[in-house]
Amino acid sequence: MKQQNNIRFVQGNEACVEGAVYAGLDFFAGYPITPSTEIAEHLAQRLPEKGKKFIQMEDEIASMAAIIGASLTGNKVMTATSGPGFSLKQEALGYACMAEIPCVIANVQRGGPSTGNPTHVSQGDVNQARWGTHGDHSIIALTASNHQDVFKITVEAFNLAETYRTPVILLLDEVVGHMREKLVIPEPGELPVVGRLRTSVPKDVDYHPYLPREDGRLPMSDFGEQHRYNVTGLFHDMWGFPSNNPKVVNALLTHLVDKIENNVNDIAMYKEYWMEDAEYILISYGSSARSAIHMARNRRARGFKIGVLELQTIWPFPTEIVREKCADAKAVLVVEMNMGQVVTQVRNAVYNPNKVFLANRIDGQLISPTDIKTVLRMIQGRGV
């Protein structure tokens, strides 16, 4: 019986919901947008059952703002959206980076720019996730190609958000979000769940909310508890008070970038398929990785040495890992559904960018194994 309760046949959006609940989600604010809406719908059902909060806000901006407010009272928080909504959230997302507020933003991608292709698949928001806000900062963005992994990376998104006090973006896509497949929900305790690091500074002792500890982490104090402090999107000193002192500005910006970029290897998640002796490497992520894996499996059966590197952490980009894995490849083929957003990162990473190629689709259709095979045969000089 117990096992049956743990097995579901669900959409990827529901897998994300289950992952969030497993991670201890307390508060969700959102605004309906295709193809992410099922996340809000299921949470509207699930959260009150657990005595937790769901609110449908008046717009995307308000949703992002509300989760930041709720995070500051000590809650694990999340919102969900898609491309145009993600654009609207960018200013408040930048605020969460600057004020170091843990939060998770699921972006189930659709085609763009603008309203684009609401009910069709795309992976066009890779760059928006990284560069959508103004100014310099770093960000964490994760992705997955199947529901078991969607569950796992959702839990991981909350863990990373709490560890690094930063927004974490879940870059899902329409196919993963809407496709149905099996999900086995792990037992409590099976996956690690990271709680918020709270300050141990006693009452009436000066608490510095923005003074990093030696390990770089910043213990928080919940709004409503004994430490009263200021949170602002302006550059701020260790008390959280606005400052334009060049030293303060420089130190804060450096901290915001370094806390993530210096930990790329801890944050980076990826999966490898047949990489041991691969002469040709496919790099992919999200639903396009499914086609890449399928194609590689078929080719392997015919004796071709093809491997797949599936990225689950897109930002910070795992540059060194990609460089190392691709060092001996004859060619690297990046498979994605945009005009080449990750391929640019891969070209930056490898020793010889001339051996990096792109297999893409930008018409709202899922890229197929045949599409990939066609590009690979051309690279191999074997004709189509």
Examine residue 95 and tell whether it contacts other proteins (CB under 8 A).
Answer: yes
Examine residue 228 and tell whether it contacts other proteins (CB under 8 A).
Answer: yes
Contact track, other proteins, 242-281, x by CB under 8 A: x---------------------------------------
Among 34, 87, 148, 230, binds other proteins (CB under 8 A): 230
Among 33, 65, 334, 372, binds other proteins (CB under 8 A): 65
> Least separation, in Å, of the C-beta of 327 and other proteins?
45
> Least separation, in Å, of the C-beta of 205 and other proteins?
15
* Nearest residue (CB) to other proteins, 77 versus 296: 77
Q: Which residues pair with 8 in a beta bridge?
A: 183
C-beta of residue 323 within 8 angstroms of C-beta of residue 347: no
Q: How far apart are CA 70 and CA 333, in angstroms?
A: 43
* Nearest residue (CB) to other proteins, 243 versus 368: 243
- The angle at the Cα of 267, spanning 341 to 369, to the nearest 5 degrees, equals 40
* Nearest residue (CB) to other proteins, 245 versus 370: 245
Q: How far apart are CA 172 and CA 104, in angstroms?
A: 13
Q: Which residues pair with 373 in a beta bridge?
A: none
> Least separation, in Å, of the C-beta of 131 and other proteins?
19
Examine residue 31 and tell whether it contacts other proteins (CB under 8 A).
Answer: no
| Residue 238 amino acid letter | M
Size of the site for other proteins (CB under 8 A): 45
| Residue 205 amino acid letter | V
Examine residue 294 and tell whether it contacts other proteins (CB under 8 A).
Answer: no
Q: Are strands 27-30 and 77-81 parallel, antiparallel or unpaired?
A: parallel
What Å distances lie between residue 384 and 32, 372, 374, 379, CA to CA? 43, 11, 6, 10
Contact track, other proteins, 159-198, x by CB under 8 A: ----------------------------------------
Q: How far apart are CA 40 and CA 56, in angstroms?
A: 8
Stretch that binds other proteins, among 41-49, 116-124, 169-177, 312-320 (CB under 8 A): 41-49
Among 15, 40, 67, 175, binds other proteins (CB under 8 A): 67
* Nearest residue (CB) to other proteins, 93 versus 372: 93
Compute the Cα dihedral for 71, 76, 77, 83 and give only its sign: positive
DSSP secondary structure letters along 112-134 = -STT-BTTS---TTHHHHHHSSS
> Per the structure block, which two tokens stand in for 18?
């289950």
Among 62, 238, 256, 260, binds other proteins (CB under 8 A): 62
> Least separation, in Å, of the C-beta of 63 and other proteins?
8
Examine residue 58 and tell whether it contacts other proteins (CB under 8 A).
Answer: yes
Q: How far apart are CA 216 and CA 163, in angstroms?
A: 10
Could you identify the residue written with the tokens 């295709």?
Answer: 34
Q: Which residues contact 127 (CB under 8 A, 6 or more apart)?
A: 341
DSSP state of 76: -
The contact set with other proteins (CB under 8 A) reads 26-27, 29, 45, 48-49, 51, 53, 55, 57-59, 61-63, 65-75, 77, 91-92, 95, 222-226, 228-234, 239, 241-242
